Chains A and B, each alone.
Chain A
Amino acid sequence: MTNEDNYNNWQVEHDEDNIVWCGLDREDSNVNSLNHPVLEELQTILNVVSQDKNGKGLVIYSLKKTGFIVGADIEQFTKINSEQEAFDLIRQGQMLFDQLADLAIPTVAMIEGFCLGGGMEMALACDYRIAEDSVKTRLGLPEVMLGIHPGWGGTVRLPPLVGIPNAMDMMLTGRLLRAKAAAKMGVVTDAVPKRHLRTAVKHCIQQRPPHKQPPIWMRSLNRSFVRPWFASVLTKKVAAKAQREHYPAPYAMIDNWVNLGNCTNKSAREKAMLTEAKSVAELIVGDTAKNLVRVFFLRERMKAMAKDTHFKAEHVHVVGAGIMGGDIAAWCALRGIKVTLQDRSADAIAPAIKRASTLFKRRLKIRREAQAAMDRLTPDPHGHGVAQADVIIEAIFENLEAKQDLFKDIEQRARKDAVLATNTSSIPLDEINAVLENPERLVGIHFFNPVAKMPLVEVIHGEKSAQKFINKAARFVSQIDRLPLPVKSSPGFLVNRVLMAYLMECVALWEEGVPASVIDQAALAFGMPMGPIELADTVGLDICLSVAENLTSHLGGSVPSILKDKVAKKQLGVKSGRGFYTYKNGKAVKDTKTVSKGKRKDIKRRLIMRLINEAAACLREGIVSDADMIDAGMIFGTGFAPFRGGPMQYARTLGKERLDEHFQQLSDVYGERFKADAGWELLADT
């Protein structure tokens, strides 16, 4: 191969067959994302190649170990000020990719690892796509997660390639495909092992194999008289997950398709491209996209927590094989760590192994991978694993003495550098660590239920916890693909405390006679993933009660008597078949009662204001480092309406004046609990 012009981000070479290999290696970043300089250089490359009479083909690939291209540089989004500016930027990218698509020579994207968003769109602009068949390869168009939709021709090029049902499934859900699935669907031409990547790429260039066509029935959906019907099917599906006023992007995608259909010729493509650009430009300056982009960066910030601490757990020991402990153990094993799971008897561990097996089968799909995960998870009734583990997590019942005894024993047997962690949700760390020789070793690693679904993990530090171990714990949480949120040890920590205020308000509403379904509906309308009543039933009223009792004992207030009554009557929620709702086959039986619009608004306001007021109290008490971490905690820990950016961001959107007004009005009617917290002063400063 011959090495040519020196680009900053690209390495361009001609091989012996006169194929131009363009390797992307973005400077100043360890992943390839598409920013202005990268695209500008690609423009130059395409200009040169289009003049090159000898060129037989062009290949785009990545020189990074971290994958192909993860998409557009999202940092750029935050700098966009107007719709026009957005439109211009999008058009630039579209035209560049059109130029790539219109090259006379065959073009191939050689894909290893992540191929997302703008990267996927660049690949779609190539004639062929060859993906490495490996577990690391993931392809998709997840723009919808950021409140927008593909803007560099993705919505135009994907549907004719794979058929509208497949294309819409990818774009509306943002889900990522593995290489084999992508090949089956037609997103990529072929999925091959690494050893055949270059051979397959050359085959495409030299043989120009015909493209796989989507089946006839899929193509027929594109007919202008069928489109509206299919669009309504899609709309219904989307509506079940997200409301138009909260998440406009998926609806915009469907609307654009209904209007224009799949584009088969150049002029239709041109029109569709303009529509796409305009649509994204509109979305990108909207609140939803802005908030979701912000959430994206919150996630990045959490992922990068304690990045300088070099710690990788190879062996995790979990004590307590209940739902929590068992699921934590299974999750760690799923993420590739050797795990020992201890409880008092083999029988106590057995149900956890069953749940783990179900999780592995569902997540890993391939039998031998599920078996490997099972092999990593060792039931350990005698606790031999303590002596070898890098991280030891206690998840036994909530009893101070039991925990103290356990940690005293663990401290004697564990390695000196091992992280000792408790999953307690209610006992202050500094009470547990009081019995330790080295109390600074103890941290809290507080998971949420269900472990496999909740991305947040609170990393709790007591007065004595050493930063070294806090950092190790945060790295461990990142290692298992969860988001660490550093939290000061204090009753309820962050998430449960804020959530409990909201749930208590919902119980108050219920006691006033508001129907459960009406309360839930109000929360759903705000954008919560689940209504508070159903949430309380799902968590279990006994657990709610114990959290509430713990909180009120520290923070004052009172536990609603109805909660105690229900628990006393063994109406514990979903698990007992009855809580606030009655459950049939695990589903709540809901009535269809409604109330006036004004009343609905009042309900919503009471729920949300209680929640954000508690959040402000947490900010004031320094439970977490800053307001952003409150937003992150509530979004990733409870699913707080992400498009609103979190409780603090929501408060900012309301503005100080309206905030004060709401609190004034509510406290006039409902009293002390709605008095604006002093913490709001702090938010104004940020």
Chain B
Amino acid sequence: MENLNTTRGGVYIVDASRTPFLKARNKPGPFSASDLAVASGRDLLLRQPFSAEDIDDVIIGCTMASADEANIARIIALRLGCGDQVPGWTVQRNCASGMQAVDCAFQSIADGRHDLVLAGGTEAMSRAPLLFKPAMAAWLGGMYAARSLPAKLQQIVKFRPHFLTPIIALLRGLTDPVVGLNMGQTAENVAYRFGITRQAMDEFAAESHQRVLTAQTHDHFAYITPLFDTRGHAYQKDDGVREDSTPERLAKLRPVFDKKYGAVTAGNSSQITDGAALLILASEQAVKRYELKPIARIVDVHWAALDPAEMGLGPVYASTPLLQRHGLTLDDIDYWEINEAFAAQVLGCLAAWQDDRYCEKHFGGLAGAYGAIKPESLNIDGGAIALGHPIGASGARLIMQLAHILQRQEAKRGIATLCIGGGQGGAVLIERV
């Protein structure tokens, strides 16, 4: 909690671009994770005064790259034409992977190691694999090892049909193996602790859709780069948002995680989505050398951890110390982006900050509630409930969206923060330039 090393140079977000977020529709989507990142990255690079080879490093967050996308960041760097000499590495911090990538870029530039870094995240959740059970893998191994015909026959009769039941990697990925809860159930926990009602969740979710629709009509997502598939179709907009997502309609949905008695539904949770978001971060020198026009400066980042069973409160744990470190309060932040993993969890965060006992207990030095965030300064262009939550990309998307909101509103300061499966929170403090 000591003061920042003030000798560090400024780190700037000079430009950003993302793909439209495409809702997973029960089959593998048209783009792989690297396809998505390449599509948004090449458009982003095309409008820069420097070339792809001038980039010092490529850092990408991605949690479930396909089998042929090992170290996807390097693949993306090469596909973008950065050339043989530009390194690339992939980071994984679950839902915060894209934010982690930006933080890594931020640190390397602040430390003076790099001048230009391409950072962000990508995820093709619709392409999450189906896996064989270990029993099936063992049986297949036996088949490969069996050389003679009798040995092969012996192995064949050992086969059992249940070997073929696939493991759905996506579901496993969204389940905490330590506490044995899936992410929706951790949201139910948060709702239970702060008494968040189903109705409040649905209203919040409906508002998210409304805000995205408004932003779309006002062309506030101009930083989206269209995607083109090989069938002659261009994807230009986030397609998970729905005009008919009213509180009344959302109220009709059944809970999906705690089946009978829960309150968290598909409608008040983030969507399963494919997308990529990339930012170009630059040092002061790079800004001068290439005459770049930054949109924001990254001030600081903070990571925190908490009980995995209440992982949805991560933003509170990450943002509070970040504010304290800079002598700021909730009111000093003009705009917030809190990732909408679940309506329950965002509302839970707001409730936690307003809860005297909770704040006193968990944040040393706080006497009573920390404060309230005004709805008109939170997720003003909507969030993951309407846009979707491509795990690896969301962190970068939040920062990008916040930077553009600060520009548009001519505001000074903003925080992008999210909760992380496994019980963590991340927060990034930025200022408009």
B228 near A350: Cβ-Cβ < 8 Å: yes
A378 near B233: Cβ-Cβ < 8 Å: no
A88 at the interface (CB under 8 A from B): no
* Contacting residues, chain A, for B231 (C-beta < 8 A): 354
Q: In the docked arrangement, what's the CA distance between A347 and B230, Å?
A: 13
CB distance from B50 to the nearest CB of A (A): 11
Q: Tell me what chain A mostly uses at the interface: helix, strand, loop, or mixed.
A: helix
B60 at the interface (CB under 8 A from A): no
CB distance from B31 to the nearest CB of A (A): 11
- Say which residue of A354, A375, A382, A384 sits within 8 Å of B38 (CB atoms): A375
- Say which residue of A347, A372, A376, A378 sits within 8 Å of B234 (CB atoms): A347
B412 at the interface (CB under 8 A from A): no
Q: In the docked arrangement, what's the CA distance between A135 and B234, Å?
A: 33
B47 near A382: Cβ-Cβ < 8 Å: yes
Q: In the docked arrangement, what's the CA distance between A350 and B232, Å?
A: 5
Residue of B nearest to A376 (CB): B81
Q: In the docked arrangement, what's the CA distance between A380 and B43, Å?
A: 7
* Contacting residues, chain B, for A248 (C-beta < 8 A): none
A43 at the interface (CB under 8 A from B): no
* Contacting residues, chain A, for B47 (C-beta < 8 A): 382, 384
Count the B residues whose beta carbon is within 8 Å of the partner chain — how many?
A: 17
Q: In the docked arrangement, what's the CA distance between A358 and B229, Å?
A: 12
A353 at the interface (CB under 8 A from B): yes
Residue of B nearest to A356 (CB): B230
Question: Count the A-B residue pairs with Cβ separation under 8 angstroms: how many?
Answer: 49
- Say which residue of B43, B46, B230, B234 sits within 8 Å of A357 (CB atoms): B230
* Contacting residues, chain B, for A358 (C-beta < 8 A): 230
Q: In the docked arrangement, what's the CA distance between A347 and B234, Å?
A: 6
Residue of B nearest to A360 (CB): B230
CB distance from B48 to the nearest CB of A (A): 9
B79 at the interface (CB under 8 A from A): yes
* Contacting residues, chain B, for A470 (C-beta < 8 A): none
- Residues of A341-380 at the interface with B, using a CB-CB cut-off of 8 Å, are 346-347, 349-351, 353-354, 357-358, 371-372, 374-376, 378-380
A346 near B46: Cβ-Cβ < 8 Å: no
* Contacting residues, chain A, for B80 (C-beta < 8 A): 375
Q: In the docked arrangement, what's the CA distance between A374 and B35, Å?
A: 10
Given A378-B43, A384-B46: A354 and B81 interface contact (C-beta under 8 Å): no
Q: In the docked arrangement, what's the CA distance between A353 and B79, Å?
A: 17
* Contacting residues, chain B, for A380 (C-beta < 8 A): 43, 46
CB distance from A358 to the nearest CB of B (A): 8
A385 at the interface (CB under 8 A from B): yes
CB distance from B144 to the nearest CB of A (A): 26
A346 near B230: Cβ-Cβ < 8 Å: no
- Residues of A67-121 at the interface with B, using a CB-CB cut-off of 8 Å, are none
CB distance from B190 to the nearest CB of A (A): 40
Given A338-B81, A349-B234: A381 and B226 interface contact (C-beta under 8 Å): yes
A379 near B46: Cβ-Cβ < 8 Å: no
B233 near A350: Cβ-Cβ < 8 Å: yes
B46 near A353: Cβ-Cβ < 8 Å: no
A346 near B232: Cβ-Cβ < 8 Å: no
B226 near A379: Cβ-Cβ < 8 Å: yes
* Contacting residues, chain A, for B407 (C-beta < 8 A): none
* Contacting residues, chain A, for B81 (C-beta < 8 A): 338, 375-376
B232 near A378: Cβ-Cβ < 8 Å: no
Given A375-B42, A378-B46, A382-B47: A346 and B226 interface contact (C-beta under 8 Å): yes
- Residues of A370-410 at the interface with B, using a CB-CB cut-off of 8 Å, are 371-372, 374-376, 378-382, 384-385, 388
Contact indicator per residue, chain A 301-338, by CB within 8 Å of chain B (1) or not (0): 00000000000000000000000000000000000001
Q: In the docked arrangement, what's the CA distance between A418 and B335, Å?
A: 45
* Contacting residues, chain B, for A489 (C-beta < 8 A): none
B46 near A351: Cβ-Cβ < 8 Å: no
B42 near A346: Cβ-Cβ < 8 Å: no
A340 at the interface (CB under 8 A from B): yes
Residue of B nearest to A358 (CB): B230
- Residues of B228-243 at the interface with A, using a CB-CB cut-off of 8 Å, are 228-234, 236
Given A338-B81, A375-B38, A381-B226: A346 and B236 interface contact (C-beta under 8 Å): yes
- Say which residue of A347, A374, A385 sits within 8 Å of B46 (CB atoms): A385
Residue of A nearest to B231 (CB): A354
* Contacting residues, chain B, for A384 (C-beta < 8 A): 43, 46-47
Q: In the docked arrangement, what's the CA distance between A88 and B234, Å?
A: 64
B232 near A351: Cβ-Cβ < 8 Å: yes
Residue of B nearest to A374 (CB): B230
Contact indicator per residue, chain B 408-420, by CB within 8 Å of chain A (1) or not (0): 0000000000000
Q: In the docked arrangement, what's the CA distance between A347 and B231, Å?
A: 12
CB distance from A172 to the nearest CB of B (A): 35
CB distance from A270 to the nearest CB of B (A): 51
CB distance from A61 to the nearest CB of B (A): 29
* Contacting residues, chain A, for B233 (C-beta < 8 A): 350
B42 near A354: Cβ-Cβ < 8 Å: no
B228 near A346: Cβ-Cβ < 8 Å: yes
CB distance from A533 to the nearest CB of B (A): 31
* Contacting residues, chain A, for B46 (C-beta < 8 A): 340, 378, 380, 384-385, 388
B234 near A350: Cβ-Cβ < 8 Å: yes
Q: In the docked arrangement, what's the CA distance between A372 and B35, Å?
A: 11
CB distance from B242 to the nearest CB of A (A): 22
Q: In the docked arrangement, what's the CA distance between A347 and B232, Å?
A: 8
* Contacting residues, chain A, for B236 (C-beta < 8 A): 346-347
Contact indicator per residue, chain B 207-224, by CB within 8 Å of chain A (1) or not (0): 000000000000000000
- Apart from A346-B226, A375-B81, 6 more pairs, CB < 8 Å: A340-B46, A347-B236, A350-B228, A375-B80, A378-B43, A379-B228
Q: Which residues of A contact B (CB under 8 A)?
A: 338, 340, 346-347, 349-351, 353-354, 357-358, 371-372, 374-376, 378-382, 384-385, 388
Task: Please list 11 pairs of residues, one from A and one from B, whose beta carbons are closer than 8 Å in the complex, sorted by A's number.
Answer: A338-B81, A347-B234, A349-B234, A353-B228, A353-B230, A354-B232, A371-B79, A374-B230, A375-B81, A378-B46, A380-B46
